[in-house]
Structure 1
Amino acid sequence: MKEISEVTDRPQGYDSISRGLHWLMALMFAWIYCSAIAHNLLSDSALDKFLWPYHKPVGLLLLVLLVLRAGWNLLKRHNRPPSMNLAASIGHGTLYGLMFLIPLIGLLRQYGSGRAFSAFGLQVMDGFEGEKVQWMINMGSNFHSLLGWTMLVLIAGHIGAVILHYRQGSSQVLRRMTGINSRS
């Protein structure tokens, strides 16, 4: 019976698939933000040269995982734990929106530039000759980074809210996404 509950959301917590997608995406976002920080602050350093080439491919992979996660959430919507409050609902909705919008804007900029894009050895889009699509480039240049840093602030708030709940004696929030049943 335990195996079934591990892949089924329940009011007390998320299933192993939801938790796995959450933590995998968290690690990938850590990579994305480390690569962006290294690229902005340590341009042409060894760290930048190691991290930056994977920024776009990892971003695309995050978009794919987001679509899978949203589909899984939709399938399991009747068994998921309820939101803690309205602020949590709005915060999660905003995070999901930004997780979709930021890579989409990045892909638009990439396409508009006319440059080809490959991720992990797979051709995602071909480049093209001729005039660039300036509105796509402008949108990407104006909003991709701005929204990315905005999302980082929201992620910090998300983590801060979990820590605050835990410090106030409510380990329920943390347990729902870790699967750990008792507070140590």
Structure 2
Amino acid sequence: MSSSRWSDSPVRYGLVTRLLHWGMAALFAFQFTGMGLKLALGRHPVSGFFVGLHKPIGTLLMLLILLRGAWGLSQWRRRPPHPRTLIGRAALAGHALLYALMFYVPAVALLRELGSGRGFAPWGIPLFPATGDKLDWLMAPANLSHGVIAWTLLAVIAGHVAMVALHHVFWRDTTLARMAGKL
């Protein structure tokens, strides 16, 4: 596979961008499915499976959003441009909101883990040692906003998907093909 397939171009996103996009989409779907099942079923073996993986997958998503942000910045000049119209500016703002929310949700959750004093070792990798010292001020942002902002993120994702459908079905342009079409 040529190196040009890995990088973005003005007409399509490259393999790295696509893997990050669709991989993160699958992980977010897992996270939201789990929390939806928890709300619907309460304490149940099925919801317990998803909830048991929520923190490690959230940590993985945090790493991926950082990687995706760095990769996106490295590809900024190569990427398919947003049109210089009101719709193009709205798309740029919508993507910025998506990135901000994707960063915020796991970031405050990690702060909560740090402030809990219990230690945190997702996938067996110690990130924070157990100190036994609970820091309420560090936990407060996540306690107040993690869930609400996460569901807001889901609503913004639904809007993102709806706009892709609008582009594909009504405007019949290449927006979907740039991220899902042939390389």
- TM-score, normalised to structure 2's length? 0.92
Match of 1:148 among 131, 147, 150: 150
Structure 2 Cα separation of the partners of residues 43 and 114 of structure 1:
26
- Matches of 2:27 and 2:132, distance apart in 1: 33
Alpha carbons 1:13, 1:175 under 8 Å: kept: yes
Counterpart position of 1:162: 164
Distance 2:39 2:119 in 1: 23
* RMSD value, Cα: 1.5
Q: Secondary structure at the match of 1:99?
A: helix
Q: How many pairs does the alignment contain? A: 179
3-state SS of paired residue (1:117)? coil
Aligned amino acid, residue 159 of structure 2: G
Cα shift readout 1:119-138 (whole Å, capped 9, x = no counterpart): 111112112124x2112222
Question: What secondary structure, in the 3-state scheme, does the structure 1 residue paired with 2:121 have?
Answer: strand
Aligned counterpart, 1:180 = 182
Structure 2: gaps (5+ residues)? none
Partner of residue 32, structure 2: 33
Secondary structure of 1:40's partner? helix
The whole-number CA distance in structure 1 between the counterparts of 2:132 and 2:55 is 22
Give 3-state SS (helix, strand or coil) of 1:34's partner.
helix
Deviations 1:4-44 (A, max 9, x none): 33112111110011011100000000011111112222221
Which residue identity is paired with 2:146? H
Q: Which runs of 5+ in 1 are unaligned?
A: none
- Percent identical pairs in the alignment equals 36
Question: Taking structure 1 as the reference length, what is the TM-score of the superposition?
Answer: 0.92
For 1:95, the equivalent position in structure 2 comes to: 98
Counterpart of 2:112 in structure 1 is 109
Shift of 1:48: 1.1
